[in-house]
């Protein structure tokens, strides 16, 4: 520092440069002292500015989401009155998770609460968009849920931003600033999802239902609880019960109940359950890569995973999984070509599993897990 | 509500604008001093002031442009989604832009070639940019 202060002014030479070198020397001293005492505060202000920029962007995304949602409701649902107030109320809805001090039976309590939430939200959509059919109601519900997620993200970030500013705590701001890139990525993914839901386009999460739809297309389907369909399809000399959520509306169904129902119908005589789902990829992995494993490939709050595991354990049925790798952004935005193309690779891989793990004449269950928006059967 | 937010997001903050304007003013002063020094015959000082002036001016203009670009990049871009339509009988295939109401396995109008029914076999978005591998 001192060397720089001595050298830099001298660069200007003597004579006419003296006043400038004095100014520069003073400037260097001032900068040094300011950074010595206020370095951390300056660093904090820089971080606050960064968070502020992201917060502006989040607010923009949230408002755009709200606007798209209202426009879609007006276009599809043909409401008599302006749905803006109702949409604003919907965006503030919350769900209280069941008490977990005594965890016994919590899964069914959570299941009940999720069912109530779903029914309540669907009823709200029906009031907001009276002219829409069942498929459109599902799509609008998904659109509103994406807008709700954006609203929530914005509010949480704003909360920590204001708290950090109020307390001038470097650590509150630093934590927020550190996770911001991931938060922004998620928010952008939801913004993309919102448009896909509004238009009824298949999303990356629909990889499982797409495979199931390809397998069951042309075969008779019947409804199974809840919001799922099943088709009996012969594959490699085996009888496969293909299960997926009922499309093409935005719907994930309750595969847990569906798998349990099919297993019970067959009195547990099932040789294997194969689950196909979209799986989160790690950075560096390719989108649409297919991987195979063991266990219940299903996300969400865990209720369906619990039910499937319970059903297969009861009858000691092997549980296999095939996943299509993608990141969170791909999962909720319109389906990428790589993911759509991977459906055939999944079918090939699944046939290998069937040939290696089951015998001819066996009964198997294949479940396409995920949101079936834009995918029929 | 929406209008307020979009104006808030597109404007450059006054704090940043103030700093940029101060740096811009200082750069102009440095350039003027450089001219004075050159007239006074001190070419070395003039040269240094000229360099400092141009660098400061360049930086302030760059920051201003960056802020404007950041403000304009705040858009939700709708990706182009394509629908593939196929005839299962004659394998005739066509790709068109997605239309609301399309879904995979939806029955469409009869095939232009064989008059059999056509169905939507895929709906996807094309992602142009390749993912960076970061050399690993």
Instruction: Judge whether A336 and B127 are in contact, CB under 8 Å.
Output: yes
pLDDT, residue B9, reads: 44
The A residues from 78 to 107 touching B (CB cutoff 8 Å) are: none
Chain A residues within 8 A of B18 when measuring between CB atoms: none
pLDDT, residue A366, reads: 96
**What number of C-beta contacts closer than 8 Å exist between A and B?**
113
Cross-chain residue pair B103–A20, CB shorter than 8 Å: no
pLDDT, residue B20, reads: 85
- Which two tokens mark A303? 């209720």
Instruction: Judge whether A288 and A325 are in contact, CB under 8 Å.
Output: yes
The CA distance from A113 to the nearest CA of chain B, in Å, is 31
Strand (E) or helix (H) holding A120: helix A106-128
B101 shares a domain with B58: no
* CATH fold for domain A204-368: Rossmann fold (3.40.50)
Q: Where do the H-state alpha helices sit in A168-232?
A: 170-199, 207-216
Q: Which of A65, A337, A376 sits opposite B103 (nearest CB)?
A: A376
Residue A228, classed as helix, strand or coil, is strand
Cross-chain residue pair B105–A377, CB shorter than 8 Å: yes
Cross-chain residue pair B103–A191, CB shorter than 8 Å: no
Q: Which of A64, A66, A201 sits opposite B81 (nearest CB)?
A: A201
Per-residue model confidence as pLDDT tens digits over B69-79: 665 566 667 78
pLDDT, residue B6, reads: 42
B87 shares a domain with B56: no
Q: To the nearest whole percent, how much of chain B has pLDDT over 70?
A: 81
Q: Which residue has the tokens 């700093």?
A: B19
pLDDT, residue A372, reads: 93
The CA distance from A67 to the nearest CA of chain B, in Å, is 8
On whether residue B22 sits in a domain, the answer given is yes
Q: Which of B2, B45, B103 sits opposite A248 (nearest CB)?
A: B103
Domain span including residue B87? 81-125
pLDDT, residue B69, reads: 66
Strand (E) or helix (H) holding A364: strand A363-368
B54 shares a domain with B91: no
B92 shares a domain with B50: no
- 3-state class percentages of chain B: helix first, strand second, coil last, to nearest 5: 50, 20, 35
Nearest Cα to Cα of residue A276 among A292, A258, A260: A292
Chain A residues within 8 A of B125 when measuring between CB atoms: 333-337
Say how far apart CA A276 and CA A244 lie, in whole Å: 10
Q: Which of A15, A194, A374 sits opposite B104 (nearest CB)?
A: A374
On whether residue B135 sits in a domain, the answer given is no
pLDDT, residue A10, reads: 53
Tell whether A245 is within 8 A of chain B (Cβ): no
B68 shares a domain with B7: yes
Say how far apart CA A18 and CA A97 lie, in whole Å: 72
Say how far apart CA A62 and CA A150 lie, in whole Å: 5
* Bond from prior residue into B90 cis (ω within 30 degrees of 0): no
Cross-chain residue pair B1–A17, CB shorter than 8 Å: no
The CA distance from A200 to the nearest CA of chain B, in Å, is 7
| pLDDT one digit per residue (tens) for chain A, 377 residues | 444 445 444 554 444 456 767 877 888 888 899 889 888 888 888 888 889 888 999 999 999 999 999 999 999 888 888 899 999 999 999 999 999 999 999 999 999 999 999 999 999 999 999 988 888 999 999 999 999 999 999 999 999 999 988 988 888 899 999 999 999 988 988 888 888 898 899 999 999 999 999 999 989 999 998 889 999 999 999 999 999 999 898 889 999 999 999 999 999 999 999 999 999 999 889 999 999 999 999 988 899 999 999 999 999 999 999 999 998 888 988 999 999 999 999 999 999 999 999 999 999 999 999 999 999 98
B109 shares a domain with B56: no
The CA distance from B27 to the nearest CA of chain A, in Å, is 15
The A residues from 156 to 215 touching B (CB cutoff 8 Å) are: 191-192, 194-196, 199-202, 210, 213
On whether residue B91 sits in a domain, the answer given is yes
Residue A322, classed as helix, strand or coil, is strand
Provide the Cα torsion A332, A333, A338, A344; round to 10°: 50
DSSP state of A73: I
Domain boundary among B49, B72, B95: B72
What is the mean predicted confidence (pLDDT) over B62-72? 73
Chain A residues within 8 A of B9 when measuring between CB atoms: 56-57, 59-60
What residue of B is the nearest CA neighbor of A12?
A: B45
On whether residue B100 sits in a domain, the answer given is yes
Cross-chain residue pair A340–B106, CB shorter than 8 Å: no
Can you say how many angstroms the Cα of residue A184 is from the centroid of all Cα atoms in its chain?
13
On whether residue B136 sits in a domain, the answer given is no
Say how far apart CA A188 and CA B77 lie, in whole Å: 10
What residue of A is the nearest CA neighbor of B121?
A: A214
Instruction: Judge whether A35 and A42 are in contact, CB under 8 Å.
Output: yes
pLDDT, residue A206, reads: 94
- Which two tokens mark A324? 């299509």
B62 shares a domain with B103: no
On whether residue B132 sits in a domain, the answer given is no
pLDDT, residue A34, reads: 87
On whether residue B15 sits in a domain, the answer given is yes
Query: Which residue would you say has higher pLDDT here, B130 or A305?
Result: A305
Say how far apart CA B107 and CA A217 lie, in whole Å: 12
Nearest Cα to Cα of residue B73 among A228, A285, A60: A60
Give me the helix-helix angle, B43-72 and B14-39, nearest 10°: 160
Say how far apart CA A370 and CA B101 lie, in whole Å: 20
Q: In this predicted structure, which of A47-51, B102-106, B128-132 has the lowest mean pLDDT?
A: B128-132
Can you say how many angstroms the Cα of residue B133 is from the centroid of all Cα atoms in its chain?
22
B102 shares a domain with B55: no
pLDDT, residue B1, reads: 37
Whether residue B36 has pLDDT greater than 60: yes
Q: In this predicted structure, which of A58-67, B43-52, B82-91, B122-131 has the lowest mean pLDDT?
A: B122-131
Q: Tell me what ipTM this predicted complex has.
A: 0.82
Chain A residues within 8 A of B5 when measuring between CB atoms: 59-60, 63
DSSP-derived secondary structure for A26-52: HHHHHHHHHHHHHHHHHHHHHHHHHHH
Cross-chain residue pair B79–A334, CB shorter than 8 Å: yes
B15 shares a domain with B53: yes
**Which residues, at least 6 apart from B2, have a Cβ–Cβ distance to it below 8 Å?**
A63, A66, A67
On whether residue B68 sits in a domain, the answer given is yes
The A residues from 43 to 72 touching B (CB cutoff 8 Å) are: 49, 52-53, 56-57, 59-61, 63-67
Q: Which of A334, A339, A376 sits opposite B81 (nearest CB)?
A: A334
B21 shares a domain with B42: yes
In chain A, domain spans: 48-199, 204-368
What residue of B is the nearest CA neighbor of A45?
A: B15
Nearest Cα to Cα of residue A248 among A123, A374, A150: A374
Q: Which of A59, A66, A340 sits opposite B124 (nearest CB)?
A: A340
Cross-chain residue pair A60–B74, CB shorter than 8 Å: yes
Chain A residues within 8 A of B106 when measuring between CB atoms: 248, 376
Overall residue count recorded for chain A in this entry: 377
């Amino acid at each position: 520092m001192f060397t720089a202060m001595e050298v830099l002014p001298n660069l200007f030479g003597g004579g006419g440069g003296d006043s400038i070198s004095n100014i520069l020397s003073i400037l260097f001293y001032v900068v040094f002292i300011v950074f010595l005492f206020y370095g951390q505060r300056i660093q904090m202000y820089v971080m606050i500015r960064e968070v502020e920029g992201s917060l502006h962007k989040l607010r923009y995304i949230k408002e755009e989401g709200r606007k798209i949602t209202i426009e879609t409701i007006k276009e599809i649902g043909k409401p008599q009155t302006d749905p803006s107030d109702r949409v604003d109320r919907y965006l503030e809805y919350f769900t209280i998770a069941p008490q977990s001090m005594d965890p016994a039976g919590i899964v069914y309590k959570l299941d009940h609460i999720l069912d109530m939430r779903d029914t309540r939200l669907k009823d709200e959509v029906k009031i907001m968009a009276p002219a829409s059919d069942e498929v459109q109601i599902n799509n609008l519900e998904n659109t509103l849920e994406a807008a709700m997620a954006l609203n929530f993200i914005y509010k949480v970030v704003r909360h920590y931003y204001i708290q950090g500013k109020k307390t001038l705590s470097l650590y509150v701001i630093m934590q927020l600033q550190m996770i911001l890139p991931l938060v922004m990525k998620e928010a952008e993914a939801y913004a993309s999802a919102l448009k896909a839901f509004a238009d009824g386009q298949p999303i990356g999460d629909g990889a499982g239902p797409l495979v199931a739809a390809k397998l069951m297309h042309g075969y008779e389907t019947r409804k199974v609880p809840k919001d799922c369909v099943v088709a009996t399809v012969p594959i490699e000399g085996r009888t496969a019960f293909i299960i997926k959520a009922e499309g093409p509306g935005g719907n994930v169904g309750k595969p847990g109940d569906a798998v349990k129902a099919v297993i019970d119908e067959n009195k547990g005589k099932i040789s294997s359950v194969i689950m196909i789902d979209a799986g989160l990829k790690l950075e560096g992995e390719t989108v649409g890569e297919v991987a195979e494993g063991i266990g219940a490939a299903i996300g969400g709050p865990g209720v369906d995973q619990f039910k499937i595991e319970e059903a297969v354990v009861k009858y000691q049925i092997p549980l296999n999984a095939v996943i299509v790798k993608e990141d969170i952004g791909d999962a909720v935005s319109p389906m990428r070509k790589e993911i759509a193309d991977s459906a055939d690779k999944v079918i090939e891989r699944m046939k290998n599993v069937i040939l290696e793990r089951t015998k001819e004449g066996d009964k198997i269950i294949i479940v396409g897990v995920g949101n079936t928006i834009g995918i029929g059967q | 509500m929406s209008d307020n937010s979009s104006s808030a997001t597109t404007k450059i903050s006054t704090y940043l604008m103030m700093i940029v304007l101060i740096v811009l003013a200082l750069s102009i002063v440095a350039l003027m001093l450089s001219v004075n020094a050159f007239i006074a015959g001190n070419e070395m000082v003039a040269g240094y002031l000229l360099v400092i002036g141009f660098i400061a001016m360049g930086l302030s203009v760059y920051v201003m442009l960056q802020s404007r670009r950041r403000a304009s990049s705040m858009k939700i871009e709708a990706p182009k989604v394509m629908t593939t339509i196929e005839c299962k009988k004659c394998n005739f295939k066509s790709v068109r832009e997605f239309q609301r109401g399309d879904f995979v396995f939806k029955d469409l109008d009869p095939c232009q070639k064989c008059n059999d029914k056509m169905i939507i076999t895929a709906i996807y978005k094309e992602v142009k940019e390749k993912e960076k591998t970061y050399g690993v």
